[in-house]
Chain A
Amino acid sequence: MSHAHAAPLPEERTSTGVATGKVALWWFLASEVAIFGGLIMSYVVCRLAHPEWAEEAAHTVSAAGALNTVVLLTSSLFAVLAHSAATHGDMKKASNLLFATVGGGLVFLCVKAYEYHHEISEGFTPVASLFWGFYFFMTGLHGVHVVAGMTALTWAALKARKNEAPWAVEYTGMYWHLVDVIWIFLFPLVYLASAS
C-alpha cells in the first residue's frame, strides 16, 4: 500500500495509504525533536550570552566526541542496511545487522562513560557551573535515548530472528536515526565550539 516493499503493516486500516504505525512514529519523532530542540536552543542561547564558556568547553574530550560520532554514524548505516535487508525478506541478515547496531550503541555508551569519568575526576560535575549543567543534561538525556533505542532494537532483532513484526526493523531503525541526528547537532555544539 505505501511503498513498493509493502511489508505487512501493524494496523491493517489506513485511509491515507501510509501505515498507521508510521504516522504515529513520525508524530513521536516530531515530539522528540520538540523536546531536544527546546533544550538545545536553550543551550545555544545561553552560549551566546556567555562567550566565556569556550574555556570551560575546552575541557571536553573532542576526540572522544568525534569517535562517538563515527560510531553512531556507522550504527545508523547498519540500521538502514537492516531495513533494506528486511524489505528483501532476508530477516536473518536484518536481525544480525540490528544486533550490530545495538553493538554500536554499546561502544558509544562505553566511550561516553569514559568521558564522564574523565571529566568528573577533573572536578567538572553537573553542579560545577552552568555550562557543565547543560553539558551533562544534554548528553545525559541523549544517552538515555540511546539506551531506549538499544532496547527497542534488541526487541526488534529478536522478533526479526523469529520472522515476526518485520515492520519493527524499520521503525526502531528510524528512531535510531533520530538519536543519531540529535548527536550530529550535539557534537559541534558542545565539543567543537570549544577550542579557544
Chain B
Amino acid sequence: MSHDKKYIVIWAALLVALFVSLGLGQFVGNAAVVGTIFVIAAVKAWLVVAEFMHLRLEARWLQLVFAGALAAIMAFVIGITPDVAHHWSVIPPKPEAAADAVVVAKKPLEPGNVERGGKVYGTYCVGCHAVDGKANGGTTGANFVDDTTRLAKTDAELLTSIAEGKTGTIGTMPPWKGALTEQQRVDALAYVRATFGAK
C-alpha cells in the first residue's frame, strides 16, 4: 500500500500549504504577500493535478492538452489586463444626486421660462421629438401635436417622465435627471406647452 502512504503525505502537505497561506492572509496589504499566496495556490494545484490525477505519468501529448488550456487562458488574461484592469480613461461614476443638489441650493426654482426652454429642447429633446414636435410621425418619440393625450397630462406627471424616463409603447424615453437640472426640465416643459400644446 506504499501508494496510499504517498497520497496521505501529499494530502498533509496540501493542508500545511493551506494554513501557511491562511497565516499570510492577515497582511494582504503588500503585493509580495499576495504573490506568495498565489504561488502557494499554484503549487497546491500542481500537486493535485500531477499526483492525484497522475498527469505526471500520462503520455506527453496529453500533458500538452492540459497545458494548452492553461496557455489559452494566459493569452486571454495578458491581452485584456492592460485594457480592462487599468481601465484606461474611465470616469469614476459620480453619484447623480450631487448634480441636482448643487444647483438647487444656489437658485430657488423659477417658473418655466419658454425662451431658455427652447434652447434646452433644441439641444436635448429634438433628437427624438423633432423640431415640429411630431417625433417623425410618432415613430421615435411622443407626438405632442397630433397625439393630444400627451400634453393633457399634468405638469407633475410630465416632469417625472422627463426626469425618470419612461418605457412606453413606442420605445424608451431616457431619464434626463442626470444630464438636465430641474430648472432646465421645467423650462423645457414650458417651451413644449407653449409651442405645441393648447395652453
Are any A and B Cβ atoms less than 8 Å apart in their complex? yes
A-B contact count (CB 8 A): 128
What sequence of 0s and 1s flags, for each residue 67-85 of chain B, a beta carbon within 8 Å of any chain A beta carbon?
Answer: 0111011001100110011
Q: Give the distance in Å from the alpha carbon of A191 to the alpha carbon of B18 in the complex.
A: 12
Is A31 within 8 A of B69, CB to CB?
yes
Is B26 within 8 A of A70, CB to CB?
no
Q: Give the distance in Å from the alpha carbon of A195 to the alpha carbon of B26 in the complex.
A: 6
For the complex, is B116 an interface residue (Cβ under 8 Å from A)? no
For the complex, is B179 an interface residue (Cβ under 8 Å from A)? no
For the complex, is A69 an interface residue (Cβ under 8 Å from B)? yes
Interfacial chain B residues near A27, Cβ < 8 Å: 65
Interfacial chain A residues near B178, Cβ < 8 Å: none
CB-contact partner of A194 in B28, B65, B76, under 8 A: B28
CB-contact partner of B85 in A29, A49, A178, A181, under 8 A: A49
Interfacial chain B residues near A84, Cβ < 8 Å: 3-4, 7
Is A48 within 8 A of B81, CB to CB?
yes
- Closest-CB distance, B116 to chain A (whole angstroms): 39
For the complex, is B44 an interface residue (Cβ under 8 Å from A)? yes
Interfacial chain B residues near A26, Cβ < 8 Å: 58, 62, 65-66
Binding stretch for chain B, among A36-44, A118-126, A131-139, A157-165:
A36-44
Known: A18-B58, A26-B65, A192-B22. A185 touches B28 (CB 8 A): no
Which 4 residue pairs spanning A and B have beta carbons closest together? A37-B73, A48-B85, A30-B69, A41-B77
28 pairs from A and B in contact (CB 8 Å cutoff): A16-B59, A18-B62, A26-B62, A26-B65, A26-B66, A29-B66, A33-B69, A33-B70, A37-B69, A37-B76, A38-B73, A42-B84, A45-B84, A48-B81, A49-B84, A54-B28, A73-B11, A73-B14, A77-B52, A174-B53, A184-B44, A184-B45, A185-B41, A187-B41, A188-B41, A192-B37, A193-B34, A194-B28
Footprint of B on A, CB under 8 Å? Answer: 3, 16-18, 22-23, 26-27, 29-31, 33-34, 37-38, 41-42, 44-46, 48-49, 54, 62, 66, 69-70, 73-74, 76-77, 79-81, 84, 173-174, 177-178, 180-181, 184-185, 187-188, 191-196
